[in-house]
Amino acid sequence: MAAISREILKRRGILPSPVMATIGTRSMASWFGHVEPAAKDPILGVTEAFLADPSPDKVNVGVGAYRDDNGKPVVLECVREAERRIAGNLNMEYLPMGGSIKMIEESLKLAYGEDSELIKEKRIAAVQALSGTGACRLFADFQKRFLPDTQIYIPIPTWANHHNIWRDACVPQRTFRYYHPETKGLDFASMMDDIKNAPNGSFFLLHACAHNPTGVDPSEEQWREISYQFKVKNHFPFFDMAYQGFASGDPNRDAKAIRIFLEDGHLIGCAQSYAKNMGLYGQRVGCLSILCEDELQAVAVKSQLQQLARPMYSNPPVHGALVVSIILGDPELKSLWLKEVKGMADRIIGMRKALRENLEKLGSPLSWEHITNQIGMFCYSGMTPEQVDRLTDEFHIYMTRNGRISMAGVTTGNVGYLANAIHEVTKSS
Amino acid sequence: MASQNPIAPSPAAGIYGGSVFANVVQAPEDPILGVTVAYNKDPSPVKVNLGVGAYRTEEGKPLVLNVVRRAEQLLVNDPSRVKEYLPITGLADFNKLSAKLIFGADSPAIQENRVATVQCLSGTGSLRVGGEFLARHYHERTIYIPQPTWGNHPKVFTLAGLSVKTYRYYDPTTRGLNFEGLLADLSAAPPGAIVLLHACAHNPTGVDPTLDQWEQIRLLMRSKGLLPFFDSAYQGFASGNLDADAQSVRMFVADGGECLTAQSYAKNMGLYGERVGALSIVCKSADVATRVESQLKLVIRPMYSNPPIHGASIVATILKDRELYHEWTIELKAMADRIINMRQQLFDALRARGTPGDWSHIIKQIGMFTFTGLNTEQVTFMTKEYHIYMTSDGRISMAGLSSKTVPHLVDAIHAAVTRMK
């Protein structure tokens, strides 16, 4: 189809002027002429800049998606097999408003434990959600509707979109201290202070494992203390679990924080995502669950969650849910998945080790322990924005200016180059 | 470890240590879905489900289009396909092709890059994102929706931050359009108000304006600066012709003015559960469209970050391939024709039966639904005595009818009309 030039349109007399047009008896300007261009998303801007760079040495460690050792995106074998089974078989009817029952069942087993009594007692209100984002948003909307006087405590730092989600849900935000820049670890004392000083019954957003963006998680002992303090203060724990299995390679281990809180009797909320651990990024599959006192309450809460989903998208997408259900519901496929997710986690742990060793071998004056202490996809390097800019300008290395490195983008092929560049920009610190 | 702090009850705490959500009451059952629930419970062998808003074959089965299966196979067998996040605005190909589908490939608005299109979760998602955008960036926060309309419309726009008013639409006495009422109500709307228009196959009535009436609506709206927001959920599914079903939208775009359009592929491509749709905002200039698109991203990101890839990939695969596209138009026409056929069969059968009343609205109305004109008592009677399941407003889904079940439905209607007033 040929593009019609402005000339032709003008000649045909059907080219309106850029902003005004005569319609009937009225000339009208754009109703949206005052709309400001929105600020670019900081994370996506990194990838855009990376793609535009012609240098053969360029490295993208901004990307928040897994890459294999060749720097390529991965579709898991278990996923490919599940899709082969789906195609040509089932219909595409609407899911119920709350989503796929099967997917929800499997998701709860994953998060709460295979043999969880809570599941047997039907105490968990759960709906399929649009990945982690959708789960958090539904919870925020639910919080706004039913507990309009509450706020949410969010760790410093956190995934940038958390702030957007609770803001758009009109739930006021507070912060609690989390990351300790001096140690590049957890500022546990300050965190506990903030938990104690918050009013009783405050709502807290906790990263279940593999904190984004720092990679800094509390130890098991620390989680127990946090849980105890939450009991004392009657706080509501909302877990964002986006990396179960992906952090340590063991889903049960990665759910440890949640299991501790459950043992202690907390009535938790939980957002689960299959974006990273099943590589289903673009399918938008997740689950929101809220643990209630009894089955009756769970039914009521679920019905209200559905009421929030209905005017947003009516019912969630079926494809990704089918993939998850098939994989988790088939012992062989589940076994394959566990192997594959461990493979991804192991590669990342391996790259952490390699990056740290490389930096130490280069004789860096700084400590790089935090690279292997931190866990999950991201490493908070401790580099300043200026140092990051140098990495980009001089070495064509792309990452977010907060110094966050996506370990998923590190490969045996580029780890030496990366270490060298980091050393160059930090050696005089 | 921790010292015992004096505990003051906070507004958020329920029973100390109990759930903070203890006071949440169960939401009422969705009226439309409740019909299917009741239908499923009924053991009668003659039961008919006319509540379902999804296409069914003559055999009463859901249908996956052949062209969709083929597209899926292509995708599954392509080893280069990955599952990476889509951009916030969705699949670029899909967006361009969707805009062309509704506005026409030769639309000046498209040629001039004046259309901002974003992939959304079917019609619902497109309406919600559009509504939120308007609530933030448009000077008028009132949207007028037709009376009646799809049950979810008021909630979508209310949660988006708009205030909802209605305009007269359906005339129960004629079972047609209350055109005078419509014009009067839109004339009385404040300048700049948003107006929701069903592009074709009005849900739930099946009553559409004629092209002449559309032209009058257009002139009125443009003279008052009312902003059109089209809900296009049945393009191609109503008349069987994609271009014909887009006429109302194209008339508005042709005059150079601005509008919003929500598209759904749920019915016309049978992709219901995949949640595939698009929101397009036609702007006065390419520069405005660019800025609008950037702001749409800020609405989407905190809602679900980016849209699901599967369904949009199927649609793009079909729309960009001549042969697949052609096959789609044939399958689409077949669905539309079956529905039109059911309308004719039902009408003929009621006339042959001599059922009192004028039933011509059955063949005058268009699309999936017919507003029969039956009242709540008659509907309850039909459900109880004849196991006919439909919504209490008298709406039936023609998609749920087959040649085999028409006679039973006629029996039921005849009985309801003669025995109950």
This prediction has a pTM of: 0.92
Same domain, A206 and A325: yes
pLDDT of res. B3 = 37
Chain A residues inside the 8 Å CB shell of B25: 300
Average pLDDT for residues B68-89, to the nearest whole number? 91
Residue of B11 and A115 predicted with greater confidence: A115
Does residue A159 have an active-site annotation?
yes
- Tell me if chain A has a CB within 8 Å of the CB of B26: yes
Among residues A301, A334, A367, which one ends one of the domains?
A334
When pLDDT is cut at 50, 70 and 90, the band that residue A28 belongs to is: low
Average pLDDT for residues B370-392, to the nearest whole number? 95
Search chain A and give the residue with CA nearest B83: A282
CATH number at residue A294: 3.40.640.10
Q: Hey, what's the torsion of the CAs at A143, A146, A147, A151, to 10 degrees?
A: 20
- CB within 8 Å of chain A, chain B residues 210-249: 219, 222-223, 225, 227
- CB within 8 Å of chain B, chain A residues 136-155: 137, 146-147, 149-150
Examine the pLDDT at A9 and tell me if it is beyond 50. no
DSSP H or E stretch at residue A191: helix A188-197
Same domain, A245 and A287: yes
Which residue type does A324 have? V
When pLDDT is cut at 50, 70 and 90, the band that residue B19 belongs to is: confident
Same domain, A64 and A105: no
Q: What is the pLDDT of residues A152-191, one digit of tens each?
A: 999 999 999 999 999 999 999 999 999 999 999 999 999 9
pLDDT of res. B22 = 85
Same domain, A238 and A364: no
Note whether A133 contacts B303, CB cutoff 8 Å: yes
Same domain, A244 and A110: yes
Which fold would CATH assign to domain B85-320? Aspartate Aminotransferase; domain 2 (3.40.640)
Catalytic residue (choose from A194, A217, A240, A254): A240
pLDDT of res. B2 = 37
Examine the pLDDT at A196 and tell me if it is beyond 50. yes
CB-nearest to B13 from A201, A281, A290 is: A201
Q: What is the pLDDT of residues A208-256, one digit of tens each?
A: 999 999 999 999 999 999 999 999 999 999 999 999 999 999 999 999 9
Average pLDDT for residues B237-261, to the nearest whole number? 97
Examine the pLDDT at B193 and tell me if it is beyond 70. yes
The DSSP 8-state label assigned to residue A125 in this structure reads E
Q: Using DSSP bridges, classify how beta strands A179-180 and A286-291 pair: parallel, antiparallel or unpaired.
A: unpaired
Measured CA to CA, the distance from residue B287 to residue A391 in angstroms comes to 34
Same domain, A157 and A225: yes
All residues at 6 or more sequence positions from A6 whose CB lies less than 8 Å from its CB, including other chains? A15, B112
Same domain, A301 and A417: no
Measured CA to CA, the distance from residue B303 to residue A308 in angstroms comes to 12
Examine the pLDDT at A18 and tell me if it is beyond 50. no
Same domain, A96 and A65: no
Could you tell me the residue range of the domain that residue A373 belongs to? 42-74+345-422
- Tell me if chain B has a CB within 8 Å of the CB of A8: no
All residues at 6 or more sequence positions from B73 whose CB lies less than 8 Å from its CB, including other chains? A87, A88
Measured CA to CA, the distance from residue A39 to residue A88 in angstroms comes to 43
Residue A305 lies in a domain: yes
CA-nearest of B405, B337, B394, B391 to B366 is B337
Measured in angstroms, the CA of B55 and the nearest CA of chain A are apart by: 10
Measured CA to CA, the distance from residue B110 to residue B102 in angstroms comes to 11
DSSP H or E stretch at residue A135: helix A131-146
All residues at 6 or more sequence positions from A352 whose CB lies less than 8 Å from its CB, including other chains? A371, A372, A374, A379, A407
- CB within 8 Å of chain B, chain A residues 308-367: 308, 310-320
Question: Which stretches does DSSP call E strand in A78-134?
Answer: 124-129
When pLDDT is cut at 50, 70 and 90, the band that residue B28 belongs to is: confident
Residue A32 lies in a domain: no
Residue A12 lies in a domain: no
Residue A2 lies in a domain: no
Average pLDDT for residues B248-259, to the nearest whole number? 96
CATH number at residue A356: 3.90.1150.10
Same domain, A260 and A367: no
Measured in angstroms, the CA of A265 and the nearest CA of chain B are apart by: 9
Chain B residues inside the 8 Å CB shell of A265: 17
Note whether A234 contacts B7, CB cutoff 8 Å: yes
pLDDT of res. B226 = 97
Same domain, A265 and A351: no
- CB within 8 Å of chain B, chain A residues 381-410: none
Interface mutation vs chain A, best among B66, B83, B153, most A CBs within 10 Å: B83
Same domain, A290 and A410: no
Note whether B303 contacts A134, CB cutoff 8 Å: yes
Number of residues in chain B: 421
- Tell me if chain A has a CB within 8 Å of the CB of B302: yes
* Cβ–Cβ < 8 Å for B387, B46: yes
Reduced 3-state DSSP string for chain B: CCCCCCCCCCCCCCCCCCCCCCCCCCCCCCHHHHHHHHHHHCCCCCCEECCCCCCCCCCCCCCCCHHHHHHHHHHHCCCCCCCCCCCCCCCHHHHHHHHHHHHCCCCHHHHCCCEEEEEECHHHHHHHHHHHHHHHHCCCCEEEEEECCCCCHHHHHHHHCCEEEEEECEECCCCEECHHHHHHHHHHCCCCCEEEEECCCCCCCCCCCCHHHHHHHHHHHHHHCCEEEEEECCCCCCCCCCCHHHHHHHHHHHCCCCEEEEEECCCCCCCHHHCCEEEEEECCCHHHHHHHHHHHHHHHHHHHCCCCHHHHHHHHHHHHCHHHHHHHHHHHHHHHHHHHHHHHHHHHHHHHHCCCCCCCHHHHCCCCEEECCCCHHHHHHHHHHHCEECCCCCEEEHHHCCCCCHHHHHHHHHHHHHHCC
Catalytic residue (choose from A144, A256, A276, A302): A276
Average confidence score pLDDT of chain A = 92
| Cα–Cα distance list, B406 to A102, B132, B338, B357, B400 (Å) | 36, 43, 13, 18, 10
Residue A210 lies in a domain: yes
- CB within 8 Å of chain A, chain B residues 246-285: 255-258, 266, 270-275, 281, 283-285
Examine the pLDDT at A16 and tell me if it is beyond 60. no
Q: What is the pLDDT of residues A274-317, one digit of tens each?
A: 999 999 999 999 999 999 999 999 999 999 999 999 999 999 99
Q: What is the pLDDT of residues A60-107, one digit of tens each?
A: 999 789 999 999 999 999 999 999 888 766 788 999 999 999 999 999
Does residue A166 have an active-site annotation?
no
Same domain, A82 and A171: yes
CA-nearest of A210, A108, A273 to B306 is A273
Q: Where are the domains of chain B?
A: 30-64+335-419, 85-320
Note whether B27 contacts A146, CB cutoff 8 Å: no
Chain A residues inside the 8 Å CB shell of B76: 83-84, 87
Structure tokens at A323: 């993939």
When pLDDT is cut at 50, 70 and 90, the band that residue B34 belongs to is: confident
Cis check for the bond before A157: say yes or no (omega within 30 of 0): yes
Search chain B and give the residue with CA nearest A16: B256
Q: What is the pLDDT of residues A395-420, one digit of tens each?
A: 999 999 999 999 999 999 999 999 99
Search chain A and give the residue with CA nearest B276: A317
Average pLDDT for residues B366-380, to the nearest whole number? 94
Average confidence score pLDDT of chain B = 93
Query: Using alpha carbons only, what angle is made at residue A14 by residues A9 and A16, rounded to the nearest 5 degrees?
Result: 100
Measured in angstroms, the CA of B175 and the nearest CA of chain A are apart by: 29
Residue of B211 and B77 predicted with greater confidence: B211
pLDDT of res. A89 = 66
pLDDT of res. B17 = 61
Q: What is the pLDDT of residues B315-336, one digit of tens each?
A: 999 999 999 999 999 999 999 9
- CB within 8 Å of chain A, chain B residues 360-389: none
Q: How many CA atoms lie within 13 A of A75 on its CB side?
A: 19
Residue A166 lies in a domain: yes
pLDDT of res. A90 = 74
pLDDT of res. B204 = 93
Note whether A75 contacts B64, CB cutoff 8 Å: no
- Long-range contacts (CB closer than 8 Å, 24 or more residues apart) made by B346-355: B346/B370, B346/B398, B346/B401, B346/B406, B346/B409, B346/B410, B349/B406, B349/B407, B349/B410, B350/B410, B350/B413, B350/B414, B353/B410, B353/B414, B355/B410, B355/B413, B355/B414, B355/B417, B355/B418
State how many domains chain A has: 2
pLDDT of res. B415 = 97
Measured in angstroms, the CA of B64 and the nearest CA of chain A are apart by: 6
In percent, how much of chain B has pLDDT > 70? Answer: 96
CB-nearest to A88 from B73, B81, B292 is: B73
Which fold would CATH assign to domain B30-64+335-419? Aspartate Aminotransferase, domain 1 (3.90.1150)
Measured CA to CA, the distance from residue A228 to residue B195 in angstroms comes to 54
- Tell me if chain B has a CB within 8 Å of the CB of A11: no
Among residues A270, A303, A334, which one ends one of the domains?
A334
SS3 A123: coil
Measured in angstroms, the CA of B84 and the nearest CA of chain A are apart by: 5
